[in-house]
Amino acid sequence: MKRRIGSRTLTHLGRYSLSQTTRKIHNSNFKLLNPSSVTPTTVGTNYKVRQYSNASEHLKTTLSASRDPRHMEQSYDLPKYLLNSPPTQFTVLPNKFRVASEYRHGETATVGVWIDAGSAWEDSQNNGVAHFLEHMAFKGTKTRTQEQIEIEIENMGGQLNAYTSREQTVYYAHVFKHDVPKAVEILSDILQNSKFTDADIERERNVILREQSEVETQPEEVVFDHLHATAFPESALGYTILGPEQNIRSIQRKDLLNYIDTHYTGPRMVLVGAGAVDHNQLCELANKHFGTLPPVFKVRPAERHPFVGSMVVNRNDLLPVIHAVIAMQSVPWTSPDYFAFLVIQAMVGSWDRNLGGGKNLSSRVCEAFAINKELKMHSLMSFNTCYHNTGLFGCYMVGEQSSEEGGIRDAVHTVLGDWARIATLASDLEVERAKTKLKASFLMQLDGATSTAEEIGRQILSWGRRVSPSEVFMRIDAIDSNVVRNVAQRYLSEQDPAVSVLGPADAAFFPDYHTIRGWTFLNRV
């Protein structure tokens, strides 16, 4: 969840992105990581090289001729606006606390701390404590009251934000460049010196309970929480971010302090700056304010999150439409198939009847929803949610019930049929069109210091490095229709899906699980 001092907002962490790496020595007191070279076929460091296409072979040949990533990018004839993108500087402090920054000309900057901890690190007894802690962060420290924190931020003309996701917790501020030292000091004070008084805990407990009640009235939030619960029933990925009501009512000060002591350690945190920031200054500030954090992992993440093909139906006849999510297990951030899934997601696309149009969309399934009024669909959204060790790829649909021909039952059949079509008949033309759309979407996400900081922080925690826009484009270009068909066949065809349904979804309006599973077979095409 996200909260903001200044103008307050409440939202979930956006679902995915890409990135960049240039490492530079700034101070002999800081331990530097070796620069990782740009390779054309794998994102992480633990995966075998996969031969994707002729473009991949070209990149490998170029890389062997020069180990300089910039030289390789230039020889690949990439657009100048990519080659001229600013580098991301990266430093590791002696306590393994990391600092990453990307300078862009301007008068403002975003600085924040990204923490490798969220609801996926919790257990059934303390589920919800990460989100509770985020709420408590702005309630006062040993040196500042809540009012003083708000006044300092307001006097700087800045914004202070925080949000919690399943795998990450983030605190960041957007300020003028000359206020960066003050912002980092405030973030450090909030993270390390919060008081957590009993009165503040009780007051915030009621706020979180009201927030939980509001979330339960939002069908999209409910249906995705149920999707995770049914897809990952044996791991913490199946927990909600807010936690169950009984946990929210029982969390105490000792639970918050124990969570901080366990998870807020040097190797689990990254100080990120984007905009008008100086990396040397940021390293000095990090060493001053975060240099005493313990340099150890006190707990390790789960080795795996078992995916279970299953279905959960939350029948609610008071809702006028059915909300349904169908997902297959996909890949983690560092998988070599990650970018192929992004291309498939762009091919499936998204559609909403309130936006008009749709008859000329590049997505076959979106075009079918827009033209075929018998389907009675309201919207469609494809998604590719990645985590450290697993992922979910699927579609979220909203449509009307119908006991006659059409309705959401036929819409589900249409979506699964499109996945099967991609696995066997994906054409070069539609793959190239999806790649162009994906590139444009990626560049649009990098407008502004805050979005850039979020990209850097998320990637450092997920991949251990920043992937440059140039590398992103090269990886996308290395994907062709053969790769797309191969990935779709392995992950989207003849597999057990996870299904979550909310609304008036009885047997007359929505197919049962065995029917849906049967529709995943390729022999339907």
User: CB neighbours (10 Å) of residue 310?
Assistant: 16
pLDDT over 60 at 338, yes or no:
yes
Alpha-carbon distance 289 to 19, whole Å?
27
The DSSP-derived string for 91-102 is EE-TTS-EEEEE
Rg of the Cα trace of the chain? 24
Alpha-carbon separation of residue 29 from 26, 44, 91, 280 (angstroms): 9, 28, 10, 12
Please state the pTM of the whole predicted model. 0.84
The pLDDT value recorded for residue 402 is 67
Alpha-carbon distance 76 to 74, whole Å?
5
The DSSP-derived string for 301-335 is --S------EEEEEE-TTSSSEEEEEEEE---TT-
Of 47-51, 53-57, 335-339, 480-484, where does mean pLDDT reach its minimum? Answer: 47-51
The DSSP-derived string for 342-393 is HHHHHHH-EEEGGG---TT-S-HHHHHHHH-GGG-EEEEEEEEEE-SS-EEE
Alpha-carbon distance 69 to 269, whole Å?
27
Residue given tokens 């030292």 in the structure block: 181
pLDDT over 80 at 16, yes or no:
no
The pLDDT value recorded for residue 272 is 97
pLDDT class for 366, splitting at 50, 70, 90? confident
More confident residue, 450 or 55: 450
The pLDDT value recorded for residue 127 is 95
- For residue 120, give the DSSP letter: G
Alpha-carbon distance 292 to 287, whole Å?
8
Taking 3-state DSSP, the helix, strand and coil percentages for the chain, each rounded to the nearest 5, stand at: 45, 15, 40
Report residue 190 as tokens. Answer: 């909030």
On whether the CB atoms of residues 509 and 322 are closer than 8 A, the answer is: yes
pLDDT over 60 at 516, yes or no:
yes
The pLDDT value recorded for residue 76 is 66
On whether the CB atoms of residues 365 and 348 are closer than 8 A, the answer is: yes
Alpha-carbon distance 483 to 336, whole Å?
11
pLDDT class for 46, splitting at 50, 70, 90? very low
pLDDT class for 498, splitting at 50, 70, 90? very high
pLDDT class for 216, splitting at 50, 70, 90? very high
pLDDT (tens digit per residue) in 435-474: 999 999 998 888 889 999 999 999 999 999 998 888 899 9
Q: In what order do the strands lie in the sheet with 98-103?
A: 2-5, 159-164, 169-176, 108-115, 269-275, 98-103, 88-92
AA letter at 498: A
52-56 own/partner pairs: CB under 8 Å, 24+ apart: 52/478, 52/479, 52/480, 52/483, 53/478, 53/479, 53/480, 53/482, 53/483, 55/474, 55/477, 55/478, 55/480, 56/478
Domains within the chain, CATH numbers bracketed: 2-28+88-290 (3.30.830.10), 310-524 (3.30.830.10)
Alpha-carbon distance 21 to 28, whole Å?
20
AA letter at 66: S
Q: Reduced to 3 states, what is the DSSP secondary structure of residue 407?
A: helix
The pLDDT value recorded for residue 405 is 63
- SS3 of 415-456: HHHHHHHHHHHCCHHHHHHHHHHHHHHHHHHCCCHHHHHHHH
The angle subtended at Cα 309 by Cα 304 and Cα 311, nearest 5°, is 130
Which span out of 22-31, 393-402, 478-487 was modeled with the highest average pLDDT? 478-487
Nearest in space to 332 (alpha carbons), one of 297, 309, 304: 304
Give residues with Cβ within 8 angstroms of 395, minimum separation 6: 325, 326, 327, 348, 380, 381, 382, 383, 415
pLDDT (tens digit per residue) in 156-215: 999 999 999 999 999 999 999 999 999 999 999 999 999 999 999 999 999 999 999 999
Type and span of the H or E element at 398: strand 391-399
On whether the CB atoms of residues 174 and 159 are closer than 8 A, the answer is: yes
Give residues with Cβ within 8 angstroms of 416, minimum separation 6: 326, 516, 519, 520, 524
| Residues acting as catalytic residues | 134
